[in-house]
Amino acid sequence: MTIIKTLTHWYSVNKRDLPWRQTKNPYFIWLSEIILQQTQVNQGLPYYEAFVIKYPTVNDLAIASESDVLKLWQGLGYYSRARNLHSTAKHIVQELQGVFPNNYKGLLHLKGIGDYTASAIASFCFNEVCAVVDGNVFRFLSRYYGIRTPINSGQGQKEFKELAQQLINKKNPAEFNQAIMEFGAIQCKPKNPDCSVCPFQQKCMAFQKNTIIELPVKLKPGKISIKYFNFLVFISDDHKTIIEKRNGSGIWQNLYQFPLVESQSVLTYKGVKTHLKTHPVINEIPYKLSLYNENDIIHKLSHQHLYTKFWIIELETIPIGSVGIDDIRDYPVPVLISNFIEAFNF
C-alpha cells in the first residue's frame, strides 16, 4: 500500500466523529481551526460548540462586542486568537460582503491566518491541493522518514511543508489532510504510541532505529522570564470591588484584572502598604490588609512564569471606579483571575 492508501484506509476506520468534519462551510472550518491552535480537541470542542450556538454565522460574530467574544473564549489562553477571530469576522463582513476567500492565497491575507490554517480551509472547503502541516503531521513525517531537522526552525518548516505537498492526494486533498492529522493525533502520539498496531511499522525509520522518543526534534526555547504579580483585591462593606481593563499589547490584552502591582521580587506586607499610601482609592481611608495565599501561585505562560499573590484590602467604601462583586463574573478575565474568583468565593 502507498502512504495515501494506508492513511485513508486507517482514517476510514478510526476517525473521530467531530462536528467540523460534517461541513464544508468555511466559517465553521475557520472557527474550529482557530480554536484548535495550541489546543487539544477535547478541550476545544466545548468552546467550538459554544461559539456556534452564540454566533451561528460570521455576521453574528462580527457584530458581537470584543468583550463578549473574549468572555466566551475565557480559559482557552492565547487570547490574541480571539481578538484576531473577531477582527477577521468584521473584515469579512464589512470588506468582503460576508464571503470568505475561496483559495489559499486569499485566505493568507486574513488576520490570524497562516500557512496551516489557510491550507486547512482551502483543502477542506474548496478541495485545493494544499498540504497541512501541524504538530501531528510533523511528528508522523519526522518518525516515518527519520528526519532530524528541527520542526520549529525555518529550514524545518520549509522541508516538512514540501514533503507533505509531495505526498498529498491530488484527487482528494481534504481527506488526506484529515487522515494524516488524525493519524498523528490518535496513533502516532507524542508519548507512548502503540507501534505494535501501527500500519507503518515495517517502514517507519524511527521504529526501526528505536528513535521514536527522540523525534520530532525541536530547538530549545529561549530563557523563561520570571515576573512577580501582586493583585490588589479591594472589598468594601457594600460588596463592591475594583476590576480594570488591561491595555497595551502585552499578555491578556483587553482582558480584565484586579489592580496589579508588578514587582522585581517577592513583595512584603510593608511593600504593599507603601504602595497603598499613594493609591487613589485609599487616600487615608482606613483599611485592613491580608494576604490570600502565603505561597506564590505560579502561572506558567509560554515565555514567562508569573509568581502571583492576591492581597485582600477590606474597607468601608470604595470612592471611585468600583463595580459590584456580583458582576465581576460577567467580565472576560485571564484564567489566573478566574480561578481566584471561584476559589475565593467572595
By annotation, the residues acting in catalysis are 33
Cell of 269: 506586607
Q: DSSP secondary structure string, 134-182?
A: -HHHHHHHHHHHT--S-TTSHHHHHHHHHHHHHHS-SS-HHHHHHHHHH
Q: DSSP secondary structure string, 50-64?
A: HHHHH--SHHHHHTS
Q: Calculate the CA dihedral of residues 134, 114, 131, 144 and round it to 10 degrees.
A: -30
> What are φ and ψ of residue 230, in 5° steps?
-125, 110
Cell of 310: 492576591
Tell me the pairing of strands 240-241 and 244-245: unpaired
Inter-residue contact 30 to 117 (CB < 8 Å): yes
Q: What does the alpha-carbon distance between residue 22 and residue 292 come to, in Å, rounded to a whole number?
A: 48
User: Across the strands, what pairs with 225?
Assistant: 304
Q: What does the alpha-carbon distance between residue 239 and residue 242 come to, in Å, rounded to a whole number?
A: 11
Q: Which residues contact 247 (CB under 8 A, 6 or more apart)?
A: 253, 254
